[in-house]
């Protein structure tokens, strides 16, 4: 199974700061990584597909990068509505797996 390791587990930031969240795969997965946001008591929402491809309706401050084993979700100038948990997911091979999440909290 492909293990996805997300870091840090928790990130404390001030609104207006820019942040980068990491997702590392246990083996090379090309760009088959996708990012989700899950706000408290809500369902996950797709943010980025195939490492860097944008999703309709998602604010442009969210962007993704990486290939192989190292991936990054970047948020340019965090807004109050962005404080939530972020998960990465791989579709390179079965079983489909998720990272354990990064919680973005207000400092």
Binding region for another protein (CB under 8 A): 32, 34, 36, 38, 43-46, 49, 87, 89, 91, 94-101
Q: Which CB, 63 or 97, lies closer to another protein?
A: 97
Distance of closest approach, residue 45 Cβ to another protein, in angstroms: 7
Four-point Cα dihedral 87, 39, 13, 77, nearest 10: 90
Rounded least distance, CB 16 to another protein, Å: 28
Nearer Cβ to another protein, position 62 or 87?
87
* 94 vs 39: CA distance, rounded Å: 27
Q: How far is the CB of 52 from another protein (least distance, A)?
A: 13
Cα dihedral 92, 58, 8, 41 sign: negative
Quote the least distance from Cβ 97 to another protein, whole Å.
Answer: 7
Q: Which residues have C-beta within 8 Å of that of residue 43, sequence separation ≥ 6? A: none
Residue 78 or 85: the one with the smaller Cβ distance to another protein is 85
Beta carbon nearer to another protein, 1 or 79: 1
Which of 44, 95, 37 is CA-nearest to residue 62?
37
Residue 48's nearest CA partner among 38, 37, 40 is 37
């Amino acid at each position: 199974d492909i293990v996805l390791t997300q870091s840090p587990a928790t990130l404390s930031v001030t609104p207006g700061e820019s942040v980068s969240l990491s997702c590392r795969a246990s083996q090379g997965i090309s760009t088959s990584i996708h990012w989700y946001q899950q706000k408290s008591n809500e369902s996950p929402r797709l943010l980025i597909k195939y490492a860097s491809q944008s999703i309709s309706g998602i604010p442009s401050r969210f962007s993704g990068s990486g290939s192989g084993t190292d991936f990054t979700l970047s948020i340019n100038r965090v807004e109050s509505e962005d404080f939530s948990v972020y998960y990465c997911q791989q579709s390179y091979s079965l079983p489909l797996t998720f990272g354990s999440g990064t919680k973005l909290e207000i400092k």
